[in-house]
Amino acid sequence: MGSVRIAGSYQSDFARNYAREGLEISDMVAEAVEGTLASAGLEPEDVESIHVGNAFGQLFTGQGQLGAMPATVEPRLWGKPAARHEAACASGSVAVLAATAEIEAGRYDCVLVLAVEQERNVPGADAPKHLGAAAWIGHEGQDAKFMWPYMFSQLADDLYGVYLRNTENPLHPAIVRYHPFDGDGMIHKVSFRDGKVSYRNRFVRTDGLLTEQETGRSLWAGLAENPEAAIRADGWGARGRMKDAASTDVIVHAGVAVASFYQCGDLYRLDPLTLDDLGKCSWGGSFPSDLGVSAHTKVDDHTGELLFFNYSTTAPYLHYGVVDAGNHLVHYVPIDLPGPRLPHDMAFTEHYAILNDMPLFWEPDLIARGLYAARFHPQLPSRLGVIPRRGGTGDIRWFEFEPTYVLHWTNAFQEGDEVVVDGFFQGCPEPKNAGPNGPADRMFRFLAQDIMQTRLHRWRMNMVTGAVREQDLSDTCTEFGTINSGFGGRPYRYTYAATNEPGWFLFNGLVKHNTLTGREESYQFEPGVFCSEVGVAPRVGGTEEDDAYLVTLTADMNRDLSECVVFRASDVGRGPIARAQLPERIASGTHSCWAPGDSVNGW
């Protein structure tokens, strides 16, 4: 069997309305024939066979026998065998298959393939009727006003809930220089219900945002600025003199969306459907307002509990707590550490919470001088602390592992006597720069996951013997992993993580990691299109872990637009199965969550 090659191709402007220009489908065919032959450097006499893909031609144009149309508009094609292929949305693909079959069989060496449709030349009420002819007339969709997308409505029927995404959107210029984590928090909401998709976005109305709006300028120093640069002497964050932008993470707990800040601050509550401001978490007056709460609070779907931690530059340096399903603080204990640390995330199992003490932290000598520079100390081990979910300060057990830093954990579970924790091991926690493809500014070196060599990793701790084991689960550079939250804290199989644009804090693709077999399935967006962390939306009525959808928002820099795109979790490599364009292009984002409809207040 010989190979088949494309000698040339042509594509007309999809946005063009030929009917408004007084043109017919014959004019479209003529343009396609001329453009394709010119691209291939061929003459009409070189063509030996013709295949035309078209759906609904007779209905929209009244024109049958479209296979003969190329010869009608280009007489030198007369006498060539020609056929029209009708296969609804796949008409063009079927025409290509027929052409390649002829070449592979040795019947012809040069075949012209066209795919043409004109469907914007009839009144709007007629078009859905014509398109409905692709269904089984009299048997399918008899009550549907619009057959399409009615016939695709299974997606809408079993995708039922809310996707929320948080990210930084600076309202005012930085005092000195802007870091991507400095912007004001903005929540984006996409809800799916009864076949309808609804979008809304809104700034998180933090105390810092409102104050800066009143003054019309930035008042607090950003992450890459010296705290002394702040206009205000007060502020938030473990470092102090920062603005709590509530721009890092978003979760849903007790039916309400909760936005949080990575260096500890207040937790801001929003209506997950309207994004109306519901004020700050108070937990019945027990909220630890002196230290705040770090981003990456964890919600256990099985108990409704929220687990959290905070950290600071003064002893005991770390606290751990639990909020029950009724939104009451029921547990809060100090955790002793050797010094100030920079934990960013935590994990949990059915019976334990897992905290961490990583050897990348602010230099203690510099803290004493009011400076905050993170350094990696490879001579120190990484430590994981396992504490019963309602355990006291003395109940925590520490286990030592290879030195690294972990920004995000994906899940943890118990297996026999062992506690197993999965997350992203950094092979280079303190790179010198963002690499040859990244931005020159050194502050971006901690943002490029390919330069930090992040890879999915597993840590094991035996609660009886104290033995530890660790191993890579993948060699692929990924981060920002999410799971089906119904398997949070329990044995699981799949993590859905992001790949990054080399050197940049931009996500250009997705990888589905099978943590049991090591198998990976990936999808890469086209250049210039970047996504956010995915939300894993279990299919209504589904039973398998990956019987779910993946929802994300994209920023398409080529077309200056954003879309909500949906994948099947069981077939990530297939690419998006549905998409909806947002009103405006939005900033590329980071953390997100999915909340089933029945978990949302007011649904």
- Asked if residue 7 has pLDDT above 60, the reply is yes
Report pLDDT for 3: 82
**C-alpha R_g of the chain:** 29
Report pLDDT for 442: 85
- Asked if residue 153 has pLDDT above 70, the reply is no
- Asked if residue 176 has pLDDT above 80, the reply is yes
Confidence (pTM): 0.78
More confident residue, 589 or 139: 589
Report pLDDT for 16: 78
- Asked if residue 466 has pLDDT above 70, the reply is yes
Listed in sequence order, the DSSP H helices in 124-262 are 126-131, 147-150, 154-158, 207-215
207: confidence class by pLDDT, cuts 50, 70, 90 = very high
Q: Report all structural domains of the chain as residue ranges with CATH numbers, in order of start.
A: 19-134 (3.40.47.10), 157-473 (2.130.10)
Is the CB of residue 135 less than 8 Å from the CB of residue 154? no
3-state SS of 405-427?
CEEEEEEEEEECCEEEEEEEEEC
Structure tokens at 161: 């809930």
Structure tokens at 255: 């039916």
Give the separation between CA 51 and CA 95, rounded to whole angstroms. Answer: 6
Residues 6+ positions from 96 with CB-CB distance below 8 Å: 51, 53, 113
Report pLDDT for 152: 47
Q: How many CB atoms lie within 10 A of CB 140?
A: 13
Report pLDDT for 146: 52
How many angstroms separate the Cα of 322 from the Cα of each of 176, 244, 300, 542, 562? Answer: 38, 22, 11, 30, 37
What tens digit of pLDDT does each residue of 349-378 get? 999 999 999 999 999 999 988 889 999 999
- Asked if residue 51 has pLDDT above 70, the reply is yes
- Asked if residue 194 has pLDDT above 90, the reply is no
Mean pLDDT of the region 267-291: 97
Report pLDDT for 132: 73
What tens digit of pLDDT does each residue of 497-543 get? 999 999 999 999 999 999 999 999 999 999 999 999 999 999 998 98
| Cis ω for the linkage preceding 227 (within 30 of 0) | no
Please give the single-letter amino acid code of residue 494: Y
Report pLDDT for 148: 53
